[in-house]
A and B are shown apart, each in its own frame.
Chain A
Amino acid sequence: MSMAAEPNELRDDVLNGLQLSMQLERVWRTPSGLVGALMSVDHKVVGRRYILTAFAFLLLGGILAILMRVQLAGPEKTFLSADKYNQVFTMHGSTMMFLFAVPVMEAFAVYLVPLMVGTRNIAFPRLNAFSYWMFLFGGCFLWISFLFNVGPDVGWFSYVPLSSLQFTPTKRADVWAQMITFTEVAALAVAVEIVVTVFKLRAPGMTLDRIPLFVWAMLVTAFLVMFAMPSIMVASTSLILDRLVNTRFYDSSSGGHPLLWQHLFWFFGHPEVYIIFIPGTGMVSAILATFARRPVIGYPVVILSLIATGFLSFGLWVHHMFVTGLPQLGAALFTASSMLIAVPSGLQIFCWLATLWDGRPVYRTPLLFVIGFIVIFVLGGLSGVMVASVPIDTQVHDTYFVVAHFHYVLIGGAVFPLVGAVYYWFPKIAGRMLSERLGRWNFWLAFIGFNVAFFPMHILGLIGMPRRVYTYTADMDWAHLNLVSSGGALVFAFSFAVLLANVIYSLRKGALAGDNPWNASTLEWATSSPPPPQNFDRIPVVKHRDPLWADSESLSVVAGLSAERREVLLTSLAEAEPQIREASPEPSIWPLLTAIATTIFFIGSIFTPWAVLWGTPPMAVTLIGWFWPSGSKEDEE
């Protein structure tokens, strides 16, 4: 089976320095022009698009949050109608969960994981491009529908029977269900890519116990996506079938059962929280090691905690259903498992605190956000342990206490690390540093604004304010706390304006970053900023868990890969021994065409079941175009 290399093939062992860089750049670069851009399969190009698009959706979702806070700032305001408010809170939740939080984490993985494991592109780069287009089209579909007043208005979890045809006769719930299908296809594709990238594309010598913690976190997340998202796809498909072709999944008069929806939704929905949170922990571990100036204490503990969290996250979904009348044994079991998951998260927190304690912390902006994360996330974790208990949950269910809790967990657990990650990796992605001064403003505005906005919601919930009400009367005594909360929300929103300003300013005027501005230890810092299309001129060889700290002067590398066509090095799963020089796909327009065909299929099927028939052939044609060998050298071995 060995295809010994053609003797006259140009290899990276006969070229050196600039000559090698330029030759590889020519082979790996994205073609120029608009069509070239649409064909790109470079993980950095796709990753950057993914990140920018996800942040655009954050901006849109954030604007909706501000609209809600304006409406709730005082009693009986008429800024938003009840109907508009329903759409706004549904769009806010759906946008933040499906179009921002999950995609932005996967986007960072798409950009960073191949660099951190020391390879030239992600596994299945065309699938990666396809994933991005599906995400973009799904998000645009949701938002265009909203602008045409067909935005979903049934909550981000779209409970039946409210979302059934009888109570939502418009297309609004269909838009929600199909947006789910788009984003899940995108997320599942990236998950498989990440798993294969981490399993097979690691630099030689990067054994399992030398994988950076961020990469471990993304690997665990990818597995969570693979096992959680099929559930929501079954759910959204069955919902749309009920609405479109009169199936009876949720029709209790024909043997259907509304609680089936809640089981299917939360079997996905609870791991979803960890799909968002675990990447955040990976970012924290990466940032913390760099700025505490020492490796994270308890590397195996952190990894085992990540894996334990992953497993446990599938055993808690019923705690979202405590008020549905469960058998007592079930309630007790899920209370216990919900409290249990605090243990691995707690272990990680202690590892991080010990790292800070033992290190020589340098308090730059990324570290500030990590410390903000620790404070806010611990508070969210505490209220989480509270609502894991059935009596407390029964009392505060569907009140603002729960809103406060999950914003502490999600914004504290994911958005703070994420903004820290932006400050940390922006120099790598853009080649310039973000302003430290603006960064500090950004952090303090975010930290103070967030707490002022969300802490009062705990109290509002305890004194009885329910979620998803578009207004309240003055005699409820909720006005002052709501006003404070709205003020905090404005400050918090302003902190993102500072971030945006910082990014725009620093792109032009920021100090040049150089390869490794933070003197960090992982491989993404061993190449230039921004990295060239080929990532590395030669694939690094890893001999240490923190390669750039072990030897900051020279990099051990392998030679022998092709310099005239796209080739990556596959290594063995556990020991990362070199196994195969595998061809890596060229740019292609077919992923985009396939995504367009799939979009027509998905959107068409909202309006007529026949779309399944006439929508399939174009998909089949584009898929064949995608996989048919192009006749290039890569394909013909």
Chain B
Amino acid sequence: MRQTIVHDVSDLPTYGYGPRSGPWWGAMGFMALEGMGFAVAIGAYLYLYAVNPSWPIGASPPDLWPGTVETVIYVLSIIPNEFTNRAAHRQDLAKVRIGLIVMALIGIALLVLRGFEFAHLNTRWDNSAYGSIVWLILGLHTTHLATDVGDTVVLAVLMFTRHAKPRRFSDVTDNVFYWNFVVLAWLPLYVLLDWVPRL
């Protein structure tokens, strides 16, 4: 078939941020399906809560302090996260490095706290259906937390190598974006795990 050139795209950039870029939509897609996973798990919790006459089953509610401290850190972490985001948009390598290191440290601190939270759930996974669903939900979120921390650490290391090229700043903004999802997903889970058993 004969070809007629009607448009020239050679002046277009080779990477972009946010909804202009492909990976941003990929992250969006995975957040949507993982968010659905959380929603289904919450649905399962509420179903078990509805069909059981007493809740929590054979246990006292989780101790409040680990989850509450985590929640405070999650909410505050938005600030350095946004700092990293803006630095990445400005392609300020020094500040991006600082931001990523801070975010990695925050993530590691949260993982340690998560260990305490498991220890203070006051139930085991094999005690009752209550224990099972609580461990499942917390485990599901911990998987997300650990994945994002791993990603942040790798990205932080990458930004100290010769690979710290402009298009990596777009990757940094996607990592920032995903962290917001980890934070947002946690807030309803905090209410569900720590406060619903106290109703």
Structural contact, B17 and A1, CB atoms closer than 8 A: yes
Residues facing A in B11-28 (CB within 8 A) are: 11-17, 19-22, 25-26
Residues facing B in A565-610 (CB within 8 A) are: 567, 569-570, 572-573, 578-583
In the complex, what's the smallest C-beta–C-beta distance from B28 to chain A, in angstroms? 9
Q: How far is the CA of A515 from the CA of B1 in the complex (A)?
A: 9
Contacts of A196 in B (CB 8 A): 22, 25-26, 29
Range of interface residues on chain A? 35 or more
Partner of B33, one of A1, A229, A559: A229
Q: Given A1-B15, A255-B130, check contact A553 B1 (CB 8 Å).
A: yes
Q: How far is the CA of A246 from the CA of B135 in the complex (A)?
A: 12
* Stretch from A208-216, A231-239, A305-313 that touches the partner: A231-239
Which residue of A has the minimal Cβ distance to B170?
A1
Structural contact, B135 and A247, CB atoms closer than 8 A: yes
Contacts of B52 in A (CB 8 A): 255
Q: How far is the CA of A249 from the CA of B168 in the complex (A)?
A: 43
Please count how many residues in chain B sit with their CB below 8 Å of the partner chain's CB atoms.
59
Structural contact, A251 and B32, CB atoms closer than 8 A: no
Q: How far is the CA of A200 from the CA of B23 in the complex (A)?
A: 10
Contacts of A5 in B (CB 8 A): 10-11, 14
Structural contact, A555 and B20, CB atoms closer than 8 A: no
Structural contact, B13 and A3, CB atoms closer than 8 A: yes
* Stretch from B65-73, B159-167, B184-192 that touches the partner: B159-167
Which residue of B has the minimal Cβ distance to A252?
B129
Structural contact, B51 and A582, CB atoms closer than 8 A: no
Contacts of B22 in A (CB 8 A): 123-124, 196, 200-201, 570, 582
Q: Is B115 interfacial (CB 8 A cutoff)? A: no
Which residue of B has the minimal Cβ distance to A568?
B22
Which residue of B has the minimal Cβ distance to A582?
B22
In the complex, what's the smallest C-beta–C-beta distance from B46 to chain A, in angstroms? 11
Contacts of A169 in B (CB 8 A): none
Contacts of B199 in A (CB 8 A): none
* Stretch from A74-82, A187-195, A390-398, A399-407 that touches the partner: A187-195
Structural contact, B9 and A570, CB atoms closer than 8 A: no
* Stretch from A318-326, A422-430, A623-631 that touches the partner: A623-631
Structural contact, B15 and A188, CB atoms closer than 8 A: no
Q: Is A636 interfacial (CB 8 A cutoff)? A: yes
Q: Given A256-B48, A557-B4, A620-B150, check contact A580 B16 (CB 8 Å).
A: yes
Contacts of A629 in B (CB 8 A): 158, 163, 165, 168
Given contacts A246-B125, A556-B4, A569-B12, 13 further A-B contacts (CB under 8 A): A2-B11, A3-B13, A5-B10, A123-B25, A226-B33, A234-B44, A238-B132, A249-B136, A257-B48, A558-B5, A558-B8, A628-B158, A635-B165
> Which 3 A-B pairs give the minimum distances between C-beta atoms?
A560-B10, A247-B132, A255-B129
12 contacts between A and B (CB under 8 A): A196-B26, A196-B29, A238-B132, A249-B129, A263-B47, A267-B40, A560-B11, A579-B12, A580-B20, A582-B15, A629-B165, A635-B163
